[in-house]
C-alpha cells in the first residue's frame, strides 16, 4: 500500500516583518516584569507601556496594512484596559474604595500583574509573529536587463539590453 503524499503548498509566498516590534515588545515586557520582581509593583513608567501599545500597530500602518494596524491597536488597548480594570476590581476589597477609619492598608496594586503581563505577552506574540506577514509579489516572468559594452575600433558604447 502506498502512502498518500501531501499536496504541494499552493498558498502565496509570504515574508515576515515583525522583527522590530517583537524586539520592542520583548524589551518593554522584560523591563516591566523585572521592575515587578524587584519592587513587587509595576513602576517602570510610561515608556514601556507606550512602546508596547504603539510599536506593532505603527509597524503595520507603515507597511500599508491599516486593517492589521487597527486590529493590533484595538487588541493591545483592550487587553491592557480590561486587564487593568479587572485587577483593580479584584483587589479593591483589600483596602476598600473609601477608607473611612484611616486604617493602614498594605495594598500596593501589584496583585495579579504577572498574569496580566503573561496575557500581554501572548497578544504581542500573536501580533508580532502571526499577523506581521505579507504576501510577496511574484516576480514578473521574462523581465531581464543586461548591461552591454560595444567596442568598435577606437569607439566604445555602453548600454542596456533586455526584455520589459
In the chain, where the domains are located = 14-135
Q: In terms of pTM, does the model score above 0.85? A: no
Task: Grade residue 90 by pLDDT with cuts at 50, 70 and 90.
Answer: low
pLDDT for residue 156: 82
pLDDT for residue 146: 75
**What is the per-residue pLDDT across 120-146, written as a single tens digit (0 to 9) for each?**
999 999 999 999 988 887 666 666 777
Q: Which of 10-24, 68-82, 135-149 has the lowest mean pLDDT?
A: 135-149
HEC-encoded secondary structure of the chain: CCCCCCCCCCCCCEEECCHHHHHHHHHHHHHHHHHHHHHCCCCCCHHHHHHHHHHHHHHHHHCCCHHHHHHHHHHHHHHHHHHHHHHHHHHHHHCCCCCCCCCCCCCCCCCCHHHHHHHHHHHHHHHHHHHCEEECCCCCCCCEEEEEEEEECCEEEEEEEEEC
Amino acid at each position: 500500500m502506498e502512502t498518500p503524499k501531501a499536496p504541494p503548498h499552493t498558498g502565496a509566498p509570504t515574508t515576515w516583518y515583525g522583527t522590530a516590534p517583537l524586539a520592542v515588545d520583548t524589551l518593554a515586557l522584560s523591563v516591566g516584569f523585572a521592575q515587578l520582581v524587584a519592587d513587587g509593583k509595576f513602576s517602570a513608567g510610561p515608556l514601556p507601556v507606550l512602546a508596547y501599545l504603539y510599536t506593532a500597530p505603527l509597524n503595520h500602518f507603515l507597511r500599508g496594512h491599516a486593517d492589521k494596524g487597527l486590529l493590533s491597536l484595538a487588541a493591545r488597548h483592550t487587553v491592557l484596559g480590561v486587564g487593568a480594570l479587572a485587577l483593580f476590581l479584584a483587589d479593591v476589597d483589600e483596602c476598600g474604595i473609601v477608607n473611612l477609619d484611616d486604617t493602614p492598608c498594605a495594598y500596593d496594586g501589584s496583585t495579579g500583574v504577572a498574569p496580566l503581563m503573561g496575557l500581554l505577552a501572548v497578544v504581542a506574540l500573536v501580533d508580532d509573529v502571526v499577523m506581521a506577514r505579507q504576501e510577496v509579489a511574484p516576480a514578473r516572468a521574462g523581465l531581464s536587463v543586461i548591461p552591454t559594452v560595444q567596442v568598435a575600433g577606437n569607439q566604445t558604447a555602453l548600454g542596456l539590453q533586455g526584455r520589459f
